[in-house]
Structure 1
Amino acid sequence: MSNSEAWINGEVSHLNNNYVNLYNNEIIGCIGIYSVTKHMKSISSAKALLILPMVFQNDLLSYMGRSNVDVKSIEQLILRKPDLLSNFNERFYSLLQVSVNSILILNALNFLTINPDGKIELLGERDFIPSYEKEVIGKRAFQIINVSYKVAKLLEDKVENLYLQLRVKL
């Protein structure tokens, strides 16, 4: 059976050691990265790569989406809900390609620019998100957009501290 036949029949969860995941794709990634960057105006490339492992984790997305949750830092989140970030390193690397592709798509479509120093900045007044209605963009995109300001707040810390606290092995 070929890889594509196995995929169609749902018999493989990965090909060539890369996770195949239609749920966590570049379009949803663009929405996540754009939404968080919109709150920050600019973001380092290193911080931008931390966005998707956060917003693509359903339990974290659900927790952060609660109106009574106000997390001020990564340290506070780890103390309150360590299980939400326990496998962050694995998620970081499994989503690295989607993160880079999403950033490059937004750049190619002129929604953001990547400066020579690696800083990512939004361009212009155009909005990447066509609508903010749940019925139009879907439940998942709607949830990601709604927690984006909280994720932006988490990313205000120094990049070195973020990678250390999230236990990303470089």
Structure 2
Amino acid sequence: MTNNSKSSTSMFSDLYNNEIIGSIGVFSVINELSPISCAKVMLILPFLFHNDLVRYLNHSSTKVKSIEQLILKKPEFISNFNERFYDLIETSFNSILILNSLDIIYINKDGKIMINEGNKNKLLKDLTKNKIGIRASNMVKASQKLAYLLTEDVDNLYLQLRVKL
């Protein structure tokens, strides 16, 4: 195998964690938290593409009050966040570009990403499990709790998640 070729694990990850499902996840969180900074949007997919974390957020008894509490309760979900952040940076960026090119989101004059209310049904009118699949449906369901976590100060989020810039 040459240095330029991808491993089969990486290729599977690219197929599994792609821009289509990424766009659904990013849209779902922005829809809960619009307006949102670009820096916070870049944190969405490393959260939503972690299936165990999504399952945890979707559990009815889960009440997460802060990113610090999540880290204390479930450090295994955050331990490789920096790696996931950089692995998914291209997918995150492309998902934002897709939503912007479809005129579903836009960046306002303050640099915040916002939902274009008139076009938000362009992505999918029905974000139910039978229309978008179980995985995407679970991500949509987790978006409200994730949006709440992302209301924290952006500098604190990057610091707590140990994202190295």
TM-score over 0.5 for the alignment? yes
Q: Distance in 2 between matches of 1:102 and 1:132?
A: 17
Task: Look up the SS of the partner of 1:143 in the other structure.
Answer: helix
Question: 1:165 is aligned with what amino acid?
Answer: Q
Q: Does 1:148 align with 2:146?
A: no
Q: 1:166 aligns with which of 151, 157, 161?
A: 161
Question: Where does structure 1 lack aligned partners over 5 or more consecutive residues?
Answer: none
Structure-2 residue corresponding to 1:137: 132
Tell me, in whole angstroms, the C-alpha distance in 2 between the residues paired with 1:142 and 1:20. Answer: 19
Could you tell me how far 1:21 is from its partner in structure 2? 1.5
- Out of 40, 62, 68, the residue aligned to residue 55 of structure 2 is 62
Q: What's the C-alpha RMSD, in Å, of the aligned pairs? A: 2.1
CA shift, 1:41, in A, is: 1.8
Secondary structure of the equivalent of 2:8?
A: coil
Offset, 1:98:
0.2
2:16 maps to which of 10, 23, 30: 23
Partner of 1:99: 92
Aligned residues: 162
So what's the TM-score if we normalise by structure 2?
0.91
More off after superposition, 158-167 vs 64-73: 64-73
1:114 Cα offset (Å): 1.7
Q: Percent identity, aligned pairs only?
A: 52
Please state which structure has a larger fraction of its residues in helix: 2
CA shift digits 1:54-106 (9 cap, x unpaired): 00001101111101101011001001101110000000000000000000110
* Runs of 4 or more consecutive aligned structure 1 residues displaced over 6 Å after TM superposition: none
Superposed displacement of residue 116, structure 1: 4.6
